[in-house]
Amino acid sequence: MSLRTRVDLIVHSATQLLTLEGGPQRGTDFGRLGLIADGAVAISDGMILAAGPSKDVRGRYVAAHELDASGKVVLPGFVDAHTHLVWAGDRAAEFEQRLAGATYMEILAAGGGILSTLRETRAASEDALLHSTRARLRRMAEHGTTTAEAKTGYGLDLETELRMLRVIRRLQEEGPIKIIPTFLGAHAVPPEFVGDPGEYTTFLVNEALPAVRDWWVLNAGTDPLPFTDVFCEEGAFAPEQARRILQRSSELGFPLKIHAEEFSSFGAARLAVEMGAVSADHLNRIQAADIAALGRSSTVAVLLPATPFGLADPTYAPAQALIEAGAIVALGSDLNPGTAWCENLQFVMALACRAMRLTPAQAVAAATINAAAAVGCSDHVGSLEPGKDADFVLLEVEDYRHIAYRFGGNLAAAVYRQGKRISPG
């Protein structure tokens, strides 16, 4: 009789275990779940050692603790590929304005929108920002998110942008969710540069980006540099300005993202491909040539259906065309105070199935392994396979399709990050 290897934890007897093994998915491969009936996962030191049928895993390993997942689905922790996590205040009054007919860009042009949140965020202390953001993170974890991207972009001056990065760093250290930082100094043109986006672009290129890099190297040790993102949109940054910002970011070593084709078609997704960006996000009004370019590239198409839902905008990203073109499609919440205050990726997945015709399996892949690719960490999160972080969710159902079939509630019975339970706490 062979000796069994000792591990810290075995999760066993899952009615369905979804491994999502094999890396980011596209084309006909998109939606491959690696489903194992009566599945198990062996975990040690926060890492996955094995995943497979319960009989096989329990035959090879013996655990200090076991978790019986009978009657439940076990799947990778959700990865939220796009959030504006750190802010102060709210924009409930603007929601009412939009119901009365005002558009998002009209509100922004009148000094509201991003600029409204800018004023409140600039006025907030670091501890106040930390407190409000921590509450949002807790709610995200309760719904199964174990990794989330988090952008700055509500300061648009160096002092406040660095304050937001400090908050992100502090939350990275304390948990419970793994946070991937993004510098979004190019979110809007701040009041100091009103009417002169070119001059603000020059400030970002010559002053802000080098200062952020220097601050990060000094304060974050060997951690990778954050992403740089640009809101390439009419009323924000034109393509030539976005290119300048992304080019300088690349020269300084920042990996790239871009807000693309949310309200108008600027060719920003094609720019993302040309610049080697990790992702192009939104894409509600992307054109055929840009869809084809994404399909030929490794740039991930991050779709954010909660945003048009929040805006009552009938135009959603053309997910089916992107899938048919072979693009890597991911999902994010776009959590923000103006258009998508949504901390529940389960709802985002259900909405993606209804509004963009993803299958439930594709929605799961888009919110796990493909979303991990969109934030540059598919090598250690997004699937349940040996060598990866033991981030997983137990759903209080026997069939994964319920996560899209139902909506508005919370099916997560328990959420684990690196083998430790983070919710319910």
Return the pLDDT at 204.
Answer: 98
Let me know: does 234 contact 189? Beta carbons within 8 Å. Answer: no
Residues 164 and 288 grouped into a single domain = yes
In a domain, 379, yes or no: no
30 with 87, same domain? no
The structure's pTM equals 0.97
Q: At residue 105, does pLDDT exceed 90?
A: no
Answer yes or no: do 325 and 299 share one domain. yes
Q: What confidence category does residue 257 fall into, taking pLDDT thresholds of 50, 70 and 90?
A: very high
Q: Which domain holds residue 351?
A: 78-374
Q: Which residue spans within 175-245 are E strands per DSSP?
A: 178-186, 227-230
pLDDT at 415: 98
415 and 327 share one domain: no
pLDDT at 2 over 70: no
* Residue 224 and residue 209 share a domain: yes
203-236 confidence digits (pLDDT tens): 999 999 999 999 999 999 889 999 999 999 988 9
Same domain, 362 and 388: no
61 and 103 both lie in a single domain: no
Q: Are 225 and 210 in contact (CB under 8 A)?
A: no
Residue 333 CB neighbours (<10 A): 30
How far apart CA 33 and CA 21 sit, in angstroms, is 8
Instruction: Indicate whether 251 and 280 sit together in one domain.
Output: yes
Asked whether residue 359 carries a pLDDT value surpassing 80, the answer given is yes
**CATH number of the domain enclosing 247:** 3.20.20.140
Task: Please indicate, yes or no, if residue 389 is contained in any of the structural domains.
Answer: yes
Residue 401 belongs to a domain = yes
Same domain, 136 and 220: yes
Residues 335 and 398 in one domain: no
**Bond prior to 176 in cis (omega within 30° of 0):** yes
- Asked if the structure places residue 205 within a domain, the reply is yes
Looking at the 3D structure of the chain, how many domains does it have? 2
On whether both 363 and 390 belong to a single domain, the answer is no
- What CATH number is attached to the domain comprising 13? 2.30.40.10
Last residue of a domain, one of 374, 399, 414: 374
Average pLDDT, the chain: 96
Is residue 33 pLDDT above 60, yes or no?
Answer: yes
